[in-house]
A and B are shown apart, each in its own frame.
Chain A
Amino acid sequence: MSTADVVTPTAAPRQRGRLRRLERPALAGVLVREIVNFSSYWRGTTFSSTVEPTIYLVAFGFGFGSLVSQVNGFRYVEFVATGTVATAVLFSSVFPGMFSTFVKYQFQRTYDAILAAPVDTEELVTGEALWIAMRAGVYGNAPMLVAIIFGLDPSWGMLVVPLICFTAGYGWACFGISIAAFLKSIENFSYVTSAVITPLFLVAGTFFPIDQLPEWAQVAANLNPLYHTVQLVRDAVFVNWSVDDLGHFGAIVAFGLLAWRVAIFGMQRKLID
């Protein structure tokens, strides 16, 4: 077919490769695939992740803000702006985790191709989650930056917000991948969205503080990683650190680790017969 050498197989067997877990070249391969793909859709993603928080800010910040001027000692628009950072992280990581994983597995069969290469399920899941977390680490800042335009005072604490977004995003990405791994059809995703994600999103101290809720709801909020993210972001932006923040950060790290292992277990079951 061609005059070029198709392949020149190595005569001597290559050096016996060692078996290791989470190899850097494997993770790099998964990430490169995502980065190259991102070059074809970044405009849409960037548009929606900046326009959406702006709408939230304008609607809640000014709509509600005219009724409620102060919440927990903050201007309401600032309270909402910091809360919206956490929801932006949630949406930009849990939905890609759920939908793109399912589409790549079920419809595009991308994972069949990747797993035929020297990449195992653990590396595949970790690479995908890292990529989504990196995006969340960037796009999560959008509401904060928009809020600065609306009068939020810049602070040094804002510099750690990307780290918070990345860490929380990693957990939510793995949570989303787990959903994709355990549910049989994409139609069932709406159960998860309505019954799990919407309550998590509302009872996290994003739009209203949780200390006015009944006690059981306050206890429940402590189990919500989004609540801890909201608290961390607020304490960072208003430079209002306390020992509690170690607990909040510990909670999102623990959530990330747990969701990561569950996602790997689920995908292994789904991808390897």
Chain B
Amino acid sequence: MSNAIELRGAVKRYGPITAVDGLDLDVPDGTCVGLLGPNGAGKSTTMKLLTAQAIADEGTLSVLGYKLPEESKVARAECGVVPQLDNLDTSLTVEQNLLVFAYLYRVPRRDRREAIERALEIAHLTERRTAKVDELSGGMRRRLLVARALVHKPRLVLLDEPTVGLDPQVRQQLWALIDRLRTEGVSILMSTHYIEEAERLADTVVIMSHGRAVATGPPSALVREHTGGEAVEVYGPPARLAEVESEARASGIQTRRTGTSITLLNVNGDAPGAADGERRPANLEDVFVLLTGEEIA
């Protein structure tokens, strides 16, 4: 099996800041890879590298077998991109937005009509085809943004934070759409900082921190490997939490703060304070915090 995306030692610097710092990333054909990381981890820069809207300082990058940045234009013709920020033409109708992109993505004249109809159906906007983008709800706009990226039947879809700022109903609709793409064999790279999103949709999760991949694997394998089977949540007043934390660390148990509680990770058998805590299965969020750190940059 070949890779739709293959990055080796990719480096991107902005002055003194190294946004992407030796990133290795594979997206095997027909799979969905979730790029998970906190804000500032380098996810968006990675996305820009893949469309040659940023040029890597070091490393080798290939998309659909084309070498970047030299052959990027050919690669882009077979990619669909869903940007983080809505950049639809707001004074145009739903249908006109799709028409413009059918041209930009070089859909042949004889297929154009059909491509637009299909995209309208994907976005569930067939009834609203003549509505201006201004008149659409946030969820409809987001669906149109996804459909716009699919108008030319891309082999690879890049989704940059596809559901950021959306309510749960709309998010769930988009998840269904992304899942459908995956089952139809489209390769997907999706950046997100929503753990649930990565857990539900991604075959492989790549956890990014400070511009590097710090862990790679299927969500369940990552949980097993990094946090063991169980976690214990201890609730209490702040003083009590601090006490549990220092005791646990003293006896070599990893912990994480969750705001209202302290979580003891990798608990096998007994641990200080574990007796009065609640046991629960470890999850991807535990891994995420463990690997990317608790400090907010």
> Given the complex of chains A and B, what is the CA–CA distance between A109 and B186 in angstroms?
26
Interface residue from A5, A17, A114 paired with B74 (Cβ < 8 Å): A17
CB proximity of B66 to chain A, nearest CB, Å:
8
Residues of A at the B interface (CB closer than 8 Å) are 1-2, 4-10, 13-14, 16-19, 25-26, 28-30, 32-33, 36-37, 40-41, 108-110, 112-120, 271-273
A12 to B53, CA, bound (A): 27
Given A120-B73, A272-B55, CB of A6 within 8 Å of CB of B122: yes
Judge whether B184 and A117 touch: CB under 8 Å.
Answer: no
* 9 nearest CB pairs, A to B: A29-B104, A273-B54, A118-B77, A109-B87, A116-B81, A17-B74, A117-B104, A4-B121, A32-B103
B163 → chain A closest CB, angstroms: 14
Most A CB within 10 A of own CB, among B48, B73, B79, B180:
B73
Q: Decide: B181 and A7 in contact? CB cutoff 8 A.
A: yes
Nearest CB of B to A230, in Å: 35
Question: B155–A9 contact, CB under 8 A?
Answer: yes
CB–CB A29/B106 < 8 A? yes
How far apart sit A26 and B55, CA to CA, in the bound complex (Å)?
Answer: 21
**Chain A residues, CB < 8 A from B71:** 19
Known: A7-B186, A113-B83. A29 touches B103 (CB 8 A): yes
**Given contacts A109-B83, A116-B51, A116-B81, A37 and B89 within 8 Å (CB-CB):** yes
With a CB–CB cut-off of 8 A, which chain A residues contact B12?
A: 273
B266 at the interface (CB under 8 A from A): no
If A32-B103, A116-B53 touch, does A40 touch B73 (CB 8 Å cutoff)? no
Instruction: Kindly state whether residue B258 has any CB partner on chain A within 8 Å.
Output: no
Shortest Cβ gap from A110 to chain B (Å): 6
Pick from A1, A29, A30: contact of B180, CB below 8 A: A1
Interface residues on B, range: 35 or more
Interface string of B44-73 (1 = CB under 8 A from A): 010010011111000000001100001101
Interface hit among B94-102, B191-199, B207-215: B94-102
- B242: chain A residues at CB < 8 Å are none
Q: A108-B87, A116-B79, A273-B54 are in contact. List 16 more A-B contacts (CB 8 A).
A: A6-B186, A7-B153, A9-B185, A18-B74, A19-B73, A25-B103, A29-B104, A32-B100, A36-B89, A37-B91, A108-B90, A110-B87, A115-B51, A116-B53, A116-B76, A118-B76
Inter-chain contact total with CB atoms closer than 8 Å: 128
Is there contact, CB below 8 Å, between B53 and A271? yes
Task: Please pick, from A2, A7, A114, A272, the residue contacting B124 in the complex, using a CB distance under 8 A.
Answer: A2
With a CB–CB cut-off of 8 A, which chain A residues contact B52? 272
Q: Pick 6 A–B contacts, CB within 8 A, sort by A.
A: A6-B184, A9-B184, A13-B64, A19-B74, A29-B106, A272-B52
- A225 CA to B81 CA in the complex, in Å? 41
In-complex Cβ contact of A10 among B48, B155, B177 (8 A): B155
Give the docked Cα–Cα distance between A41 and B96 (Å).
Answer: 14
Are B70 and A19 neighbours in the complex by a CB distance under 8 Å? yes
Contact A5–B51 (Cβ < 8 Å): no
Q: How far is the CA of A8 from the CA of B122 in the complex (A)?
A: 13
Q: Determine if B224 is an interface residue (Cβ-Cβ < 8 Å).
A: no
